[in-house]
Structure 1
Amino acid sequence: MDHNMPPLPPDLRPPDADAARDYERIWTALYRTDAAQASEYDVDAAWADLADRLDLAPLPDPVEDRGNERTARPPHEKDDARSSRYVRTLATAVLVVCAVAAGWWWQQPVSVTTAAGEQTTVTLPDGSTAEVNSATRLSYRRGFQSLPWVPASRRRVRLTGEAFFDVDEADRPFHVVTPNARIEVLGTTFGVRARTADDRSETTVTLSSGRVRLTPTTATSATSEVTLSEAGDRSRVVEEQGPTSPETVDLKYVRAWRNGGFAIRNAALPTVLGELERRFGVPLSLRVAPSETAPMTLHYAAEAQIEEVLRDICVIQGLSYRETSQGYELVRDD
């Protein structure tokens, strides 16, 4: 019997002598098997060889570090470099995407749109203001700049509908562009109306103060422009024709809608009803032939009400109005 072999534990010794001898033989065989494996396979040597291959930290001493957790393997230098390159590439890609998105966003114009029956006042980037009437769209570049922090050569807004401008003086000219005309100003107040009627684009400019120049967008020479310089001057551009000669109008017709009123001059009844629909956002229909009606002029300085206007129209035209589920209709009196 090997003197280095530990004795069979007492709790494993059976009371029967024959069984005890069998247990002793099994215990001895197990010990010799473990001893043979230990002599043929050195755990410490195997771990040291594996550590050399993988550049790992040496195996901690089993006695000194018994009960302690194994120290985490430090990151490999190549892994660190690879991770750093990945982070830098990702950060660059994110910055490029953000720059492209910011550039795209900056190129999108600021747009203000009013619905029928709605009005608003817009303060433009240079401090100028635009009072925007119903059913109108006004748009302009952000900050009046061609690129971020790069001022454009001119202050320019685009208008479809009606607005009244109060423009601050500045070194850069101020332009209002409509579907068929361009208005150039340098510190002034004026109204612009750009509507389409009977499939014809029409732009009307009425000057309140200062000086403006009206030009069709298709103009090829200076002879196609008109300058308005007196309060009340008005000119019109229809389609691609040249602007009409200035005529003087009463400015109360320009101010009315800005004060909550309504005004129109020498217009056919269908045109009047179309303007009322935009002003109040209420559908209106005419149940008589337009040829049986006459042109008319209306002026309400402030706080006009749709039924008040309809009542006056009916008195002038010999009609009556009635409310429907959709709005109002005008009919001939029986």
Structure 2
Amino acid sequence: MDPDTPPLPPELRPPDADATQDYERIWAALHRTDDAQASTYNVDAAWGDLADRLDLDDASQPAEAPAVDRPARPSDHDTDSRLLRPARTLAAAVLVLCAVAVGAWWWQQPVSVTTAAGEQTTVVLPDGSTVKLNGGTTLAYDRGFQSLPFVPAAQRRVQLTGEAFFEVDDGDRPFHVTTPNARVEVLGTTFDVRTRTGEDAPETTVTLTSGRVRLRPTAAPASAPDSGVVLSETGHASRVVADRVPTAPEAVDLKYVQAWRNGGFGIQNASLPTVLEELERRFGVLLFLRVPSADTAPMTLHYAADAELEDVLRDICVIQGLSYRKTSRGYELVRD
């Protein structure tokens, strides 16, 4: 018997000397650790053998062996559960961290809305302001106008390429529109922003319908007092070409600026190639000029609503002395 094992209590000693050794072995097994029991001795089998022996002993043997408290052995399932619990906790923590990281990354991605040529749509911004997008336009802004979840940004800022009409709600934060070469600062107004980027220098034109805005080139610091132009009169417009200072405010006829919002088309004193580019954006159809642009004249067109492309092309050809024909790719304008 292991010297660390206490002796068998007298009340458990059987009168049979042969049975005494079995009792001592069982007693020693009951005091071993759970792991030692599992690897060195089958306690359940020994206990069953002891019970059989007690039934076969003479009448002087007590009918029931005294009860002996022994610790319950953990099952294999319980052991596996204890071993797997730390791994499951770690896996859950990793999943939570991944979810937080993905959520933070998603929140940092700006919301972007793009209209194809020939399409128009209206976007409601997080502050309730609305923006109507003309064809071939992209608008992007921070999700919820927040720098982080539940943390409002210092400014309400949107980015625009193309053309859009803004109706900005009043708010305690400035509203900024940035284009490839200009910034528009506003606090509650309605205005049209048109920006074009092509082979020539980028150009941004702002036309005021109501309220008050400031236009400045992107390259100019916001603190420079003379870097911007303030528009405060309805129907006044200003333009920024490349990074030059904005043009002085000048009065324009709003019907040409607003026609696209009613399904029409308007343009003032523009070259024929420019007119055709705007028609492509408005109707989403390719147009080809098959005569030198130098042989054409600038023109002004206005269709208040429900303009049809072929009606516009017919009028252009009458004015320019050209004709148009439909091709597999779109339309082309040629000399008669």
TM-score, normalised to structure 2, is: 0.79
Amino acid at match of 2:170: E
Cα distance in 1 between the residues matched to 2:162 and 2:250: 22
Per-residue deviation, 1:197: 3.6
Write out aligned runs for 1:20-31 (5 A): none
- Matched with 1:130 is 131
- Matched with 2:67 is none
Cα distance in 1 between the residues matched to 2:77 and 2:290: 88
- Matched with 1:152 is 153
- Matched with 2:192 is 191
Amino acid at match of 1:250: D
Amino acid at match of 2:184: I
Question: 2:44 aligns to what SS in structure 1?
Answer: coil
Question: 1:222 aligns to what SS in structure 2?
Answer: coil
Amino acid at match of 1:96: L
Cα deviations by residue, 1:300-334 (Å, 9 ceiling, x for unpaired)? 0100000000000000001110111111110111x
Asked if residue 172 in structure 1 is aligned to residue 157 in structure 2, the reply is no
Asked if residue 142 in structure 1 is aligned to residue 143 in structure 2, the reply is yes
Cα distance in 1 between the residues matched to 2:36 and 2:126: 65
Contact 1:283/1:327 (<8 A) preserved: yes
Question: 2:88 aligns to what SS in structure 1?
Answer: helix
Cα deviations by residue, 1:281-317 (Å, 9 ceiling, x for unpaired)? 1111011110110000000010000000000000000
Query: Structure 1 residues 240, 63: CA separation in 2 closer, same or farther (over 3 Å shift)?
Result: same
- Matched with 2:62 is none
Cα distance in 2 between the residues matched to 1:154 and 1:166: 16
Cα distance in 2 between the residues matched to 1:327 and 1:313: 16
How many residues align structurally?
A: 284
- Matched with 1:120 is 121
Asked if residue 224 in structure 1 is aligned to residue 227 in structure 2, the reply is yes
- Matched with 2:286 is 283
Cα distance in 2 between the residues matched to 1:136 and 1:72: 73
Cα deviations by residue, 1:245-269 (Å, 9 ceiling, x for unpaired)? 0001111112100000111110000
Contact 1:259/1:301 (<8 A) preserved: yes
Per-residue deviation, 1:83: 2.0
- Matched with 1:294 is 297
Cα distance in 2 between the residues matched to 1:130 and 1:76: 62
* Correspondent of 1:250 among 250, 253, 260: 253
- Matched with 1:107 is 108
- Matched with 1:259 is 262
Contact 2:30/2:43 (<8 A) preserved: no
Query: Structure 1 residues 77, 253: CA separation in 2 closer, same or farther (over 3 Å shift)?
Result: same
Per-residue deviation, 1:91: 1.1
Contact 2:264/2:306 (<8 A) preserved: yes
- Matched with 1:200 is 201
Structure 2: segments with no counterpart, 5+ residues: 1-21, 52-71
Question: 1:312 aligns to what SS in structure 2?
Answer: helix
Cα distance in 2 between the residues matched to 1:315 and 1:51: 111
- Matched with 2:57 is none
Question: 2:245 aligns to what SS in structure 1?
Answer: coil
Cα deviations by residue, 1:9-51 (Å, 9 ceiling, x for unpaired)? xxxxxxxxxxxxxxxxxxxxxxxxxxxxxxxxx9xx89x9699
Question: 2:214 aligns to what SS in structure 1?
Answer: strand
Per-residue deviation, 1:75: 4.4
Structure 1: segments with no counterpart, 5+ residues: 1-41, 65-70
Question: 1:223 aligns to what SS in structure 2?
Answer: coil
Stretch deviating more after TM superposition (254-263 or 71-80): 71-80
Cα distance in 1 between the residues matched to 2:177 and 2:201: 19
Percentage identity across aligned positions? 63
Q: Report which of the two structures shows the higher radius of gyration computed on alpha carbons.
A: 1
- Matched with 1:86 is 87
Contact 2:182/2:204 (<8 A) preserved: yes
Cα deviations by residue, 1:48-86 (Å, 9 ceiling, x for unpaired)? 96995544484264899xxxxxx9962487654432211
TM-score, normalised to structure 1, is: 0.80
Per-residue deviation, 1:92: 1.0
Question: 1:200 aligns to what SS in structure 2?
Answer: coil
Contact 1:189/1:207 (<8 A) preserved: yes
- Matched with 2:44 is 59
Contact 1:136/1:159 (<8 A) preserved: yes
Contact 2:29/2:37 (<8 A) preserved: no
Amino acid at match of 1:218: A
Contact 1:51/1:58 (<8 A) preserved: no
Query: Structure 1 residues 237, 50: CA separation in 2 closer, same or farther (over 3 Å shift)?
Result: same
Amino acid at match of 1:216: P
